[in-house]
């Protein structure tokens, strides 16, 4: 009896594996699923400098203060190196590294971190979480000047939409 059950189990698993393999093979990628151009292919430019980064921090901090949201705000250059940082009075300590992570992810992947949040939350694309340095939380925005990425800003301390709103206020100094 025991041998019959294990043989039946093995045969069943083999059939399941074959049917999954057949399903994968019978649905090849079509031309329509492959974009002609690379998405998020904005080139990198001259990195943002310290003075300019500070002006973004001040704009973001002003928005956060106006709303009463203590935030951590980080600006990185086009190489993902920290250029400026502010921990507002009362901002949670855990959000220090999160703000930096959001800024680095936005510049490395050349897209807002909201893209990753949407991929996981709305599109159920969980594989995105296997990529290095991803953070699936809004509040990281690339800084684009003359069509080139010069750095990015990351904000953390509130919930996603709060982080995003503060980040947008800082990014608006460059992204016009």
Q: Report the 10 Å Cβ neighbour count for 134.
A: 17
Phi, psi of 75, rounded to the nearest 5 degrees:
-125, 130
Q: Please state the pTM of the whole predicted model.
A: 0.80
* Confidence tier at 32 by pLDDT (50, 70, 90): low
Q: Using CA atoms, how far apart are residues 108 and 66, in angstroms rounded to an integer?
A: 30
Classify 50-171 by CATH class.
alpha beta
Q: Residue 55: name the closest of 145, 127, 123 by CA.
A: 145
Give the residue carrying structure tokens 């059939």: 15
Q: Residue 102: name the closest of 120, 127, 82 by CA.
A: 82
| pLDDT tens-digit readout, 35-93 | 788 888 999 999 999 999 999 999 999 999 999 999 999 999 999 999 999 999 999 99
């Amino acid at each position: 009896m025991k041998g019959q059950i294990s043989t039946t189990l093995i045969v069943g698993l083999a059939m399941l594996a074959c049917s999954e393999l057949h399903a994968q093979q019978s649905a090849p990628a079509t031309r329509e699923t492959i974009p002609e151009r690379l998405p998020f292919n904005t080139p990198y430019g001259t990195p943002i400098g310290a003075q300019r980064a500070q002006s973004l921090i001040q704009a973001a901090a002003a928005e956060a203060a106006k709303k009463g949201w203590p935030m951590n705000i980080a600006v990185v250059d086009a190489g993902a190196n920290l250029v400026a940082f502010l921990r507002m009075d009362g901002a949670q300590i855990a959000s220090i590294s999160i703000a930096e992570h959001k800024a680095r992810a936005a510049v490395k992947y050349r897209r807002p971190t909201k893209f990753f949040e949407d991929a996981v939350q709305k599109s159920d694309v969980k594989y995105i979480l296997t990529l290095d340095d991803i953070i699936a939380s809004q509040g990281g925005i690339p800084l684009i000047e003359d069509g080139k990425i010069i750095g990015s800003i990351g904000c953390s301390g509130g919930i996603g939409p709060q982080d995003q709103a503060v980040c947008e206020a800082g990014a608006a100094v460059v992204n016009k």
